[in-house]
Amino acid sequence: MILLLHTLIQAVVAFLFLFYPEAGDLVPGFGTSEGPSFQLLMKMYGLSALYTAGLSLWAFFRRRDTPTFLLVTLSLSLFHYLMILVQSMYNPDSRAALLHFLLAIFLTAQYLGRRREGWSEHLPGAH
């Protein structure tokens, strides 16, 4: 379920950045910047969000495939932890870091939950 929530959040952010020129006003830390460089940044951020949305949707449909599920949830977790670091260092508004923190925690929980299933299968005496 967290993969669907992740897909929804990232897709909304992606479409805002790609198709809504005033999206910077809605996202904490972007402020009132403008110009070609800002538009380029918005489009690049939008494509990144769209890619992570697609990746999590693909993993949702392949959720029974444990290696795929583990790879994608771990990768997305790491991505969001790194985004927390960047947002914390360079964005004076902590709301964006908080969103990435929540997504990272939930994705990590999904990853560890599936890993724990694999660990218990290999324990002696576990059935």
Tens digit of pLDDT for each residue in 3-48?
999 999 999 999 999 998 777 777 777 766 778 888 888 899 999 9
Give yes or no for a contact between 55 and 74, defined as CB atoms under 8 angstroms apart. Answer: no
Q: pTM of the entire structure? A: 0.84
Q: What is the C-alpha separation between 18 and 16, in angstroms, rounded?
A: 6
Among 57, 82, 93, 86, CA closest to 72: 57
Helix axes 66-90, 95-121, angle to 10 degrees: 150
Q: What is the pLDDT of residues 83-100, one digit of tens each?
A: 999 999 988 888 889 999
Q: What is the C-alpha separation between 5 and 76, in angstroms, rounded?
A: 13
pLDDT of residue 78: 98
